Structure 1
Amino acid sequence: MRLIIVDDETSVRDALADRLREEAFDVESVGTALEFYRGMAGNGYDIAIIDVDLPDESGLDIAAWLSEKGRVGVGLMTSRGDLEDRLALRRSGADFYLLKPVDGDELVEAVRNVARRIVRGERAESDVGAGPADWFFDPSQWILQSPDGQAVKLTAAEVSFVGRLALQPGSAVSRSELRTELGYGHDRSGDRNLEAIVRRLRKKLGALGERAVPIQTVHGTGYLFSGSLRIDRRKHSGADREKSIQPK
């Protein structure tokens, strides 16, 4: 998940960014709306956390713009707490809002909730900021697409597995958490079912000719997705569909 924090108070945004990085989120922070828009044009983000009182534009206006685009999760931060201000926050289209000073743990939980909805395909499609080395995961179509554009059709269990890894990019997810996500028992049988999913998924991805299959084992812990992964509803071309590998 790529996140951006927009707050003109350097100490605030740095502290919140550090807290989110502790949870393995990829976070950038900027101080103005202008810097935010430049970042959106150049990089693209999955979730934006924005202070309402920015020096060059209201965070409410940014949230409304993002809501219309329907492609980025939005959180707002404000020091205002009266009824009129709370109503304005609710009308903004943001996914959540927090009163300042923002508690780091509360922010982490709010971001995780939005990230889960994004992984489950509840946000509109976006190709903003896609890099040439990105894998793309489309949970709504059960598709995982390699950096060179080849699409693999996933099973329901594989969608759940990849979606859980996507919540912690570059960090290991424990076998216990993965068994829970997949509805498997916490016993040897559950382990065997999890290992079977990993084997099948690696076989599918290996058939694409990728030099490095991005499902990596972290011994003593679990698994991680080692590639750069974006969660999007992709517009798959006819050529992509022809190259798609169907599950057996």
Structure 2
Amino acid sequence: MPRVLMIEDDLDVRDAVRLALRHQGHEVFAAGTGEEGLEQLRPFRPDVVVLDLMLPGISGLDVCRRIRERGQVPIIMVTAMGDDNDVVTGLEAGADDYVVKPVHARVLDARIRAVLRSHDASLSDGVRPRAESHGELVIDRVGLAVTHRGEPVALAPSEFRLLLTLSASPGRVFSRQELLEAVWEHSYYGDIRLVDACVKRLRGKLGELGGDPRYIQTVRGFGYRFGSR
């Protein structure tokens, strides 16, 4: 049974979503503040965090960053309709996906199951099932680990799956829509900002935010490709 930590300050929303997710087969702990949510990370050990950005006290963005500092549990953030700046900022802070209010339980359940699949053994899909070297970057598809210049690289689920998808076909150009479908399982209505924010985070962790990226390369007007020159 997937364990969901929901951090939401609105009591009515919290109770309604918690009940709906339990009916969908999830075990749910609902916290009313960011502080309470962070306190429950270790004892509850959630499989996924559903995080409202608008929280009293410590902000949802700060909660997102602190969760990322502690580990790589998937994070789905909840935003108000039309808060585009919050969406981009939240994705760059480390969130794996997002939903907008009002939250529909079936949509949230689908997003939860999608990020969990990204975090599971489905990441190892049988394609080139062993560690592979791309210059100073080593990707272990069996052990689900990445090292760069001999140092381990801690990747969030969406970052890891994006890297696996791109590196499975070096030189191939993937459109943002193709990456949405492969990494996030979003169909035509997906938000390409998920891809761009994830690419930015991944590049940062590989030490290539500036200049000419070696690994995750932009093909203007088309999308992204993996290179190891």
TM-score normalised to structure 1 length:
0.47
Corresponding position of 1:28:
29
Residue 88 of structure 1, CA deviation? 1.0
Question: Aligned letter for 1:28?
Answer: F
Question: Aligned letter for 1:105?
Answer: R
CA distance in 1 between counterparts of 2:34 and 2:43 reads: 14
Residue 83 of structure 1, CA deviation? 3.2
Residue 121 of structure 1, CA deviation? 6.8
Contact 2:77 2:98 in 1 (8 A): yes
Residues 78-98 of structure 1 show CA distances to partners (whole Å, capped at 9, x for unaligned) of: 115243222212212111111
Residue 34 of structure 1, CA deviation? 1.6
CA distance in 1 between counterparts of 2:96 and 2:45 reads: 18
CA distance in 1 between counterparts of 2:67 and 2:115 reads: 14
- With over 3 angstroms needed to count, the CA separation of the structure-2 counterparts of 1:86 and 1:38, relative to structure 1, is closer
Residue 35 of structure 1, CA deviation? 1.1
Corresponding position of 1:107:
108
Corresponding position of 1:174:
none
5+ residue gaps, structure 1: 123-138, 143-248
Please state if 1:74 is matched with 2:68: no
Secondary structure of 1:102's aligned partner: coil
Please state if 1:90 is matched with 2:104: no
Contact 2:38 2:67 in 1 (8 A): no
Corresponding position of 2:13:
12
CA distance in 2 between counterparts of 1:19 and 1:65 reads: 27
Secondary structure of 2:114's aligned partner: helix
Residue 45 of structure 1, CA deviation? 1.1
Question: Highest relative contact order (Cα 8 Å, sep 6+), 1 or 2?
Answer: 1
CA distance in 2 between counterparts of 1:140 and 1:10 reads: 42
Question: Aligned letter for 1:65?
Answer: R
Q: Larger radius of gyration, structure 1 or 2?
A: 1
Percentage of pairs with the same residue? 30
Question: Aligned letter for 1:84?
Answer: N
Residue 41 of structure 1, CA deviation? 3.0
Residue 23 of structure 1, CA deviation? 1.6
Map residues 140-151 of structure 1 onto 2, 5 A cutoff. Answer: 140=142
Instruction: State the number of aligned residues.
Output: 127
Map residues 50-199 of structure 1 onto 2, 5 A cutoff. Answer: 50-79=51-80, 81-120=82-121, 140=142
- With over 3 angstroms needed to count, the CA separation of the structure-2 counterparts of 1:120 and 1:99, relative to structure 1, is same
Contact 1:46 1:71 in 2 (8 A): no
Residue 71 of structure 1, CA deviation? 2.6
Corresponding position of 1:246:
none
Aligned-residue CA RMSD in angstroms?
A: 2.4
CA distance in 1 between counterparts of 2:28 and 2:70 reads: 21
Question: Aligned letter for 1:85?
Answer: D
Please state if 1:39 is matched with 2:45: no
Residue 109 of structure 1, CA deviation? 0.6
TM-score normalised to structure 2 length:
0.50
Question: Aligned letter for 2:69?
Answer: E
Residues 110-163 of structure 1 show CA distances to partners (whole Å, capped at 9, x for unaligned) of: 0010111222275xxxxxxxxxxxxxxxx9559xxxxxxxxxxxxxxxxxxxxx
Secondary structure of 2:39's aligned partner: helix
Corresponding position of 1:3:
4
